[in-house]
Amino acid sequence: MTAKSRTFVKLREIVFSYNVPANLLKNSRFFRSASVSVVGRNLLYFTGKGTRNMDLDQFTSASSDMTMAKFFKAYFFARTTEMFGDIPLTEALQGESAGNFAPKYNTQLEVYQQVLSWLEEANNELANLKEKGNILDGDFFYNGKPEQWQKLVNSFKLRVLISLSKRADDSPALRVKERFAEVLANPTKYPLILENRDNFQLLYNNINTYPLWPTDGVIIKKDVRNTLGATYLNILKTLQDPRLLIQALPASAMPSDPTRPFDVYNGGKTGDLQSTLLKQAADGQLSMINFDYWLASPSGVPSIQLGASEVQFALAEGINRGWASGDAAVRFQSGISQSMLFYGVSQDKINLFLQANPYKGNNAEGLKQILTQKYVAFFENSGKQAFFEQRRTGVPVFDIGPSNANNNQIPKRWAYPKTEYSTNETYLKEALQRQFNGSDTQNDIIWLIK
């Protein structure tokens, strides 16, 4: 794909792939297919005279490119700070253009202030683009519709605000509660992703196939590596959630009783050793994925990056916490409904499930319901969000067992890349001292979740 303007042409990416012949893998117990890819990015720049480098920050007009740049910068800086803690922002991305290869680190508070500012600006500018009837060129997510991107920007803003729940009372500069209430009170100014048709998701096809789709197209409906974890499965099994019957297969060795259909599903404890889990799976003690659902075609299942169910649960959580007025029960039910509809659950079964599992109110029990169902809705989508949410809230409780090589602790963050120590040691160590008294481990607690 190339990006063009009046001033430059850029070769963004080339991918060379090689599929390993199936006959070379026929004796393998674990691999049905394999491929090797080499990716080259930002390979060539052709620019006009007097232009040394070209990047998003060099544009000065209020163009749609700059508007989208604000959203994507907010998206990726937020993701990066969630993973590591303090990160360079103010001096980031300068590199050769400013001769700065060792940028200072900003605090997480500063990062989130800028992220929220970018999102507010992007929302306003997208509203103007919509009013003018402008179309965003090259958009394969929303076909160039500014109004759809506006929904995404504000939905991502809700994700950011909810992620800041532990800082809502001690960081007035962020205005967490106030911003949340503003979004909920003004749906015209701040439209949201509230139905699956607006999901920010990647659709696969016969060329860009679903990741689990075998390169030879031959589906073997038994794969001991693709079993479900007990943390997730037991939630659905206990609540008799119809999504489980779609997502997974019964454990083949479990006794079957037609009157108790959920009893034949069993998940593996994620804290167990891989050798234990593989033996349990081979012996038919664990439920595998439902291959007829996940691999019905090369297109598989859309990869949601931010969807309607998450937004509905975010609204329910904020209302439950008293950040704004509203009906948390309706949002809770809508979150479940949108997730179930994504899997093709019938409306009758959705209604029965909601009747059997009513919202328990704006209290601790109701909050746990919201967080549990949000975790369920993240199954096989939304990147690292399930981990980030569990890290923030402790819901659900993760299993710790003999496979844990971290002193029986669940990691809380990513350590900074080793390259930072060789290229930006001074500012990195300054940030580490400020955050963790010089430590840099996966167990350090970042400001976001203290």
Segment 18-67, tens digit of pLDDT: 555 555 555 554 455 555 555 555 555 555 545 555 554 444 444 788 99
Q: Is 226 in contact with 321 (CB distance < 8 Å)?
A: no
CA–CA distance, 46 with 53 (Å, rounded to integer)? 10
pLDDT at 1: 35
pLDDT at 208: 93
Q: CA nearest 224: which of 297, 281, 140?
A: 281
| pLDDT tops 50 at residue 5 | no
Q: Residues 121-140: what's their mean pLDDT?
A: 94
Q: Residues 8-15: what's their mean pLDDT?
A: 55
Q: CA nearest 277: which of 288, 261, 290?
A: 288
Model confidence over 305-338: pLDDT tens digits? 999 999 999 999 999 999 999 999 999 999 999 9
CA–CA distance, 447 with 427 (Å, rounded to integer)? 18
Length of the chain: 450
Burial class (CB in 10 A: 0-12, 13-18, 19+), 311: buried
pLDDT averaged over every residue in the chain: 90
| pLDDT tops 50 at residue 2 | no
Strand partners, 100: 95
Amino acid type, 30:
F
Model confidence over 193-220: pLDDT tens digits? 999 999 999 999 999 999 999 988 899 8
Over its C-alpha atoms, the chain yields an Rg (Å, rounded) of 24
| pLDDT tops 50 at residue 4 | no
Q: For the packed helices 64-84 and 146-163, what is the interaxial angle rounded to 10 degrees? A: 20
pLDDT at 27: 52
- Across the beta sheet with 8-19, the strand order is 2-4, 8-19, 35-47
Q: How many CA atoms lie within 13 A of 286 on its CB side?
A: 26
Give the percent of the chain with pLDDT over 90: 82
pLDDT at 360: 98
Element at 41 (helix H, strand E): strand 35-47
Model confidence over 381-409: pLDDT tens digits? 999 999 999 999 999 999 999 999 999 99
Q: Where are the beta strands (DSSP E) in 226-375?
A: 303-306
Amino acid type, 411:
P
| pLDDT tops 60 at residue 167 | yes
Amino acid type, 208:
N
| pLDDT tops 90 at residue 447 | yes
pLDDT at 63: 74
Q: Is 88 helix (H, G, I), strand (E, B) or coil?
A: coil
Q: How many CA atoms lie within 13 A of 152 on its CB side?
A: 24
Query: CB under 8 Å to 351, separation ≥6 — which residues?
Result: none
Q: What tokens appear for 301 in the block?
A: 């299942």
pLDDT at 223: 87
CA–CA distance, 392 with 384 (Å, rounded to integer)? 12
CA–CA distance, 286 with 269 (Å, rounded to integer)? 10
CA–CA distance, 332 with 358 (Å, rounded to integer)? 9
Question: Considering Cα of 209, then 214, then 216, then 221, what sign does the dihedral take?
Answer: negative
For the full predicted model, state whether its pTM sits above 0.95.
no
CA–CA distance, 341 with 349 (Å, rounded to integer)? 10
Amino acid type, 304:
I
Model confidence over 249-281: pLDDT tens digits? 999 999 999 999 999 999 999 999 999 999 999
Q: Is 319 in contact with 326 (CB distance < 8 Å)?
A: yes
Greater pLDDT, 169 or 21:
169
Cβ count near 10 (within 10 Å): 18
Q: What tokens appear for 11 in the block?
A: 């070769």
pLDDT at 96: 87
Q: What tokens appear for 317 in the block?
A: 């959580």
CA–CA distance, 426 with 292 (Å, rounded to integer)? 54
Cβ count near 100 (within 10 Å): 14
pLDDT at 182: 98
pLDDT at 272: 97
pLDDT at 20: 55
Confidence of residue 10 (pLDDT cuts 50, 70, 90): low
